[in-house]
Structure 1
Amino acid sequence: MAALALVLLCAATIMVAPAAADVESHSFPVFNATTAESLWVATNTSIIMPAALLFGPGQSFPEGFLLLPKRVDVWRAGAGGLPTREASFNTSFTVESSAPPVSFVVLLDRFPTLNNPLGLRGSNDSTTGAVPNATDGLAAVEIGTVRSYAPESPNVGLNVTITPNGTAAPGRRAVWVEYNAVAHLLRVYVAAGGEPRPARALLDARLSLAGQGTTQTAFVGFFATRVRDVFLGVRDWDLTVDRLDTDGKKKGTPWWVILIAVLGSVAATAAIVSLVVCSSVSRRRARDMEPKQ
């Protein structure tokens, strides 16, 4: 009974303990001259490090990317260079209802080619087919690739464009972008600012970020016609990415974490208790079968 009580106590503890060591997290409640010290800007003509330089007087706020300077692990290659594991990620942010379109982006692990005659948006190549898109009363969402590397790599990375509906009720639009690497499924949720994440996604799409024209690491951030639109329109940006070790496996995921994730806390507790009971019964039977002295 003491062992059973101990297991129940441990199970209750692990259900509420976050697996902080398994993920890499970034958080920016607001973009300003202070927080932008840790960010980079990539335009068609220059790389600006740090992005805080754009808060100085006389800046023109060009079209470009606002990016984390640290590359994020996207996938790991195994035998023959094939992907062995991708990193799932979750990101959330809010945009003003009156803001121009902004895009959450996952780029190659290098900046786009400078002075590209087609600009950072690349060519609007209709041969790639229709891109997944959806609209509700709050915003329009479109999932596509990043064409800023044309003509050498015209369709790479990830580009999730959010266009707020300025004619709807004023206020913020809350956005969640979630990528499940196991299912290769991207989901985008939209709600009014301050509201919880909806039960159903506004848009989902099947895709894989590993191997197909992408590098194993990537720059992550936002794109807008003017970087100023990101500075002023985006708030409360949080990003959480699976941390991958050098073997392409997620670090430190013990069996009981997987059990809880699959079965839920109550079912997992029952399963753990059943294992303890079965173990105790097996040991008792073994003792009963021992020869009597």
Structure 2
Amino acid sequence: MINSVADGGGIDATGVTVTYRNGLTALRDATFHIPKGSVTALVGVNGAGKSTLFKAIMGFVPASQGEIRLLGRTVREALKSNIVAYVPQAEEVDWAFPVLVEDVVMMGRYGHMGFLRRARPADHAAVDQALARVGMSDYRQRQIGELSGGQRKRVFLARALAQDGQVILLDEPFTGVDVKTEEQIVALLREMREEGRVMLVSTHNLGSVPEFCDRVVLVKGTVTAYGKTDEVYTRDNLEAAFGGVLRHFTLGGTELHHDDDDTREVRIITDDERPFVMYGEKRKKSIARATVKADTDDGNA
């Protein structure tokens, strides 16, 4: 069920259709609302329209129909105001390009500089604060290509902070990072939520979504459902968005309860990233990907 679009700031998409010049319609009649001060998961299979939606929000592709408003502004107005920040996937970056960590973070200040892009004391201070906030101050003189996957993610988060982005798009921020780095990223997202920023996180990490996202937008060529995580992140909605891609594992009865009358089941839903686990009707913290893989290898799928 699609909720009605609420009034006010945040990200508002109304009837958005994106058709590329080759005639391919990658997103059709998409409608959703994300309020300020929230972390929202953007969930769907590859090719569902997640990247197209990001491109439309960043102004890289126009909406052939409908409208996107960011904090009450049109996309063009929002970009001119430099309020939209982007944290890319690792695959989108040329890590061999020789650039220092502090220079990457300074790129977030370009929209605040003049035509000649000469950094002022305020720009250097913003970079210092951003690096300190993500715990990367000691790495500022390192080449970004020398860093680990998790450290690189933190550098690009620092760039978004230095930019003072109010609408932050994160593309697969947990891919290629360890558990400790994931926890650090989640803690930072929660801090930014408290500051009133709007964060839209594209992810295949189904198990992490209930742990840190207030809201969910599910896409499959259009928006199939959106709203609060507790209301929208359900098995039925996931199946509608993922179709036959998801795999299910169910344990219950005597497999779990040998000495009591508890009849609840453990249900695991996964697309081979971190799985989404439910115990009865309640969500549980996700379990390691390897656990499900081991069950599959044993022939229990």
Same fold by TM-score, threshold 0.5 exceeded? no
- TM-score (structure 2 length as normaliser): 0.30
* Structure holding more helix per residue: 2
Choose 1 or 2 for highest CA Rg.
Answer: 1
Q: Quick one: higher RCO (CA 8 Å, sep 6+), 1 or 2?
A: 1
- TM-score (structure 1 length as normaliser): 0.31
